[in-house]
Structure 1
């Protein structure tokens, strides 16, 4: 697109609803980075924040505590919820172009294969913690919900909620099962050694060593993601209902619902996550003798994190015009090109922290420093997204996806 003066035209202004949803997506994108950034240095072992310095500063402790409190397992639920909402909105839009829902499902399955392919390439070539792979796979499980009645979606939501809660109960029971202290300590020592070895490979290993470690980590992360499937399905289906019922598209009409969700989300989420953050910090400080309560709280974290996530989303939905416009100005551009920014975060993380780039992770292992660098990446992406969308209508990866769809979704006759 070009202006009459030969310069790229600025992207057209968005409707308030679309801008608000993109702001939520941008918030989730940056929240996910605050959790993912540690894996560029330490891989994907059980110590999410790696090995603490011998004498961690107050800032180091505060960084771990705040990330555990405010970010860990709070933002992938938001992303999954928005994925389901986007699925409902996009398939309904496609239905206006195609004669039957079966055709819509067939066409959308191609988009899921594209997402799955991006995830596999991302996970094997750049960063092992890819989430697109599991999103693409789970997307096929809800593909039949395109065009489904609200009652059908609600029944499926109920059924998968029961499965998810049962899985949490099983994990909690396992976490509370007593094990000999000597065995627990020995296992923790082995995990600490593995994390230290992984850190050395990612920050100072050869390209071949890093590639092998990344493939092993990708296989491990993807296999463990299977346990996320019930939770993701609950979030996908809830997002579909939220879009179909207008909770997201007409938030002011449903302000009472959002106020209740905000009260419950913060009322349950803040106390639980304060406990979790204290336990996570204690574990990080002494990984060889973590408090027994850590495993129990971690088993409950998918639910506890989701409550706080609901509070975040409700707060953005209830934001007044002035606050909403300010948030949208900063977060919406990043949310509009979320796929581009998600992949860019991986590239920047590899180039900044790992041995193939600047290798900052070799020495800059202080949690406070790592968190500050994550915020620097966020600031860069906010500025870059605003600049890019001032010259282009969509992000690079989004434009590529758009061109791909244009070749396989021809406009029907008379459409």
Structure 2
């Protein structure tokens, strides 16, 4: 694999870790379940608030966590190699085991929306099929994703058809609002109060792990299959990328149309439920369109070629940047850690904080990677599963002196 192709993978990883932040911002700032709601969002549904929500749901939501999962599937193969390589397989299992530890610490002690645990558990399943052919990986992953998506669509459709009567629905909403308000007080309280509430919400999210495990495993298989076919390394044909972009943007147009319809029709609950199912099931299509666009940017001779170069350092230290995002945001929103702004910030400000964090992480990633071989937390993780590892980058002049 050439250096340029490695840069492309890093660029995609950087795109993923930055893009996922905008999707996570409401969960940092508002307690579940209201953080996922647009109708019951505590700051209302003004034009600016709805605008940020619409852009997030249309272009960001589900797409970047999907990209992250696909790329993690690639790392299973890059670290573990073929199943016949027992030494690298042992390193891979140790790597995933430590990721379970990081995921538990992150989820319970820092932020309840952790994905590291989900990726690690799915990784233990996908490592068993990392030597499969690309076609088998894609076929299996697509079948699993399709079947699970159809079940989800059926379930959500049934929920719309057999939805509760108006009074019961209003009562359930009132209970959710009251629960969220109580959680908000805890998040804005002392360090211990926010820590305990975060752990409670994390426990609540664990109930969905079996579903997430299956869907994430499918995405990892799809990602690894695409990698082996050269799609994620820029080796596929132009026709392949044009096709991916065309299909993905068509899916994105459908999602965008449903977002507009919700706003125009006053955010009806049945349409919102169906929208969530469509958004989830079509996410991989739009994600692969983003991959195609990144490849075209990398191949460009103009200003577009700067995009993958800017994102590559962010992707090289994606693990550090992902956890740093949680530390920054919980310091802003949780009590006992910083500003205690939980429940006090609307979507436009959340978007501004996201952009500011993007800028900081792009700049600091470039600065760090010019001086070091890997991110600081990547170095800690690598030492744990592989042993002593050099951190500081060897400068060219130092290499020349050693050669002489």
1:180 aligns with 2:165: yes
Q: 1:207 to 1:139 in 2, by over 3 A?
A: same
1:268 aligns with 2:268: no
Question: How much has 1:277 moved relative to structure 2?
Answer: 5.8
Question: How much has 1:118 moved relative to structure 2?
Answer: 0.6
1:18-97 aligned within 5 A: 18-48=6-36, 52=41, 57-92=46-81
Q: 2 CA distance for matches of 1:23 and 1:349?
A: 23
Q: 1:161 to 1:37 in 2, by over 3 A?
A: closer
For the 8 Å contact 2:112–2:198, the answer to whether it is kept is yes
Q: Secondary structure at the match of 1:394?
A: coil
Q: 2 CA distance for matches of 1:54 and 1:101?
A: 55
Q: 2 CA distance for matches of 1:403 and 1:76?
A: 26
The answer for the alignment partner of 1:9 in structure 2 is none
What's the TM-score once normalised by structure 2's chain length?
A: 0.87
For the 8 Å contact 2:145–2:219, the answer to whether it is kept is no
Q: 2 CA distance for matches of 1:54 and 1:112?
A: 40
1:306 aligns with 2:253: no
What's the TM-score once normalised by structure 1's chain length?
A: 0.85
Q: 1:136 aligns with which of 120, 141, 159?
A: 120
- 175-184 vs 382-391, which moves further: 175-184
Q: 2:91 aligns with which of 107, 112, 115?
A: 107
For the 8 Å contact 1:68–1:276, the answer to whether it is kept is yes
Q: 1:46 to 1:278 in 2, by over 3 A?
A: farther
Q: 1 CA distance for matches of 2:51 and 2:313?
A: 30
Q: 2 CA distance for matches of 1:207 and 1:119?
A: 20
Q: 1:53 to 1:154 in 2, by over 3 A?
A: closer
1:242 aligns with 2:226: yes
Question: How much has 1:119 moved relative to structure 2?
Answer: 0.4
Q: 1:66 to 1:151 in 2, by over 3 A?
A: closer
CA deviations on 1:193-217 (whole Å, 9 max, x unpaired) are 2222222221x21222212211111
The answer for the alignment partner of 1:191 in structure 2 is 176
Where does structure 2 lack aligned partners over 5 or more consecutive residues? 390-404
Question: How much has 1:154 moved relative to structure 2?
Answer: 4.2
For the 8 Å contact 1:134–1:222, the answer to whether it is kept is no
For the 8 Å contact 1:52–1:367, the answer to whether it is kept is no
For the 8 Å contact 1:49–1:367, the answer to whether it is kept is no
The structure showing larger relative contact order (alpha-carbon pairs under 8 Å, at least 6 residues apart) is 1
Q: 1 CA distance for matches of 2:19 and 2:139?
A: 31
CA deviations on 1:155-185 (whole Å, 9 max, x unpaired) are 5325423432332233233332322121111
Q: Secondary structure at the match of 1:199?
A: helix
1:160-175 aligned within 5 A: 160-175=144-159
For the 8 Å contact 2:247–2:289, the answer to whether it is kept is yes
For the 8 Å contact 1:81–1:235, the answer to whether it is kept is yes
Q: 2 CA distance for matches of 1:161 and 1:61?
A: 30
Q: 1:184 to 1:322 in 2, by over 3 A?
A: same
Q: 1:107 to 1:277 in 2, by over 3 A?
A: farther
1:256 aligns with 2:239: yes
Q: Secondary structure at the match of 1:358?
A: coil
Q: Secondary structure at the match of 1:142?
A: helix
Q: 1 CA distance for matches of 2:244 and 2:257?
A: 19
